[in-house]
């Protein structure tokens, strides 16, 4: 049975699509893509149905990663369909924990906790001009996704 990971940020158009795409690429590179179900979602529904921010897709494209999913809002059922739900910052984690139904199976985790450089918070680059914040988000996601998979393989999660 495949494992399942959901990446969540405020609107599902910046950080969580980047994290989802990076995680998928990482799984593919490790030859374990078929062992995972991966998705992303938003805390709020403002952007539901929208494509990611063009700066997010530009950064992904610059790293030869294509992404074409659309934003959606997290649902209560996600907490039983996914094994791991990753928030990008403490506000995401707080919202996720308050929405999480009792006795659901998902572990709610801060993605940045797996960054070996200790860069715990993946800051929202939405209001930035340019792509610099999106590139930083991408780099953090690469480190954190690899860190998560290493810790999972070691049995430390």
The set of catalytic residues is 9, 15, 124
Which regions of the chain does DSSP assign to beta strands (E)?
A: 3-9, 36-42, 84-87, 107-110
How would you classify the pairing of strands 84-87 and 3-9? parallel
H-only helix segments in 67-121:
78-81, 90-99
The Cα–Cα gap between 151 and 102 comes to 26
What does the block give as tokens for 106? 């998902």
What does the block give as tokens for 98? 């308050």
> What is the torsion angle, in degrees rounded to the nearest 10, for the CA atoms of residue 137, residue 84, residue 71 and residue 121?
-30
The Cα–Cα gap between 79 and 84 comes to 8
The helix or strand, by DSSP H or E, that contains position 43, with its residue range, turns out to be none
């Amino acid at each position: 049975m495949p494992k399942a990971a959901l990446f969540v940020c405020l609107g599902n158009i910046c950080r969580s699509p980047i994290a989802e795409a990076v995680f998928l690429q990482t799984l593919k590179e490790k030859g374990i893509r078929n062992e995972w179900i991966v998705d992303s979602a938003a805390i709020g529904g403002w952007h539901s149905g929208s494509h990611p921010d063009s700066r997010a897709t530009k950064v992904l494209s610059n790293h030869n990663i294509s992404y074409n999913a659309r934003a959606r809002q997290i649902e209560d059922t996600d907490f039983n369909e996914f094994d791991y739900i990753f928030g990008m910052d403490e506000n995401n984690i707080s919202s996720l924990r308050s929405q999480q139904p009792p006795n659901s199976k998902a572990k709610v985790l801060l993605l940045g906790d797996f960054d070996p450089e200790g860069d715990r918070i993946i800051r929202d680059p939405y209001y930035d001009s340019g792509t610099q914040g999106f590139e930083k988000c991408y780099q953090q996601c690469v480190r954190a996704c690899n860190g998560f998979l290493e810790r999972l393989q070691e049995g430390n999660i």
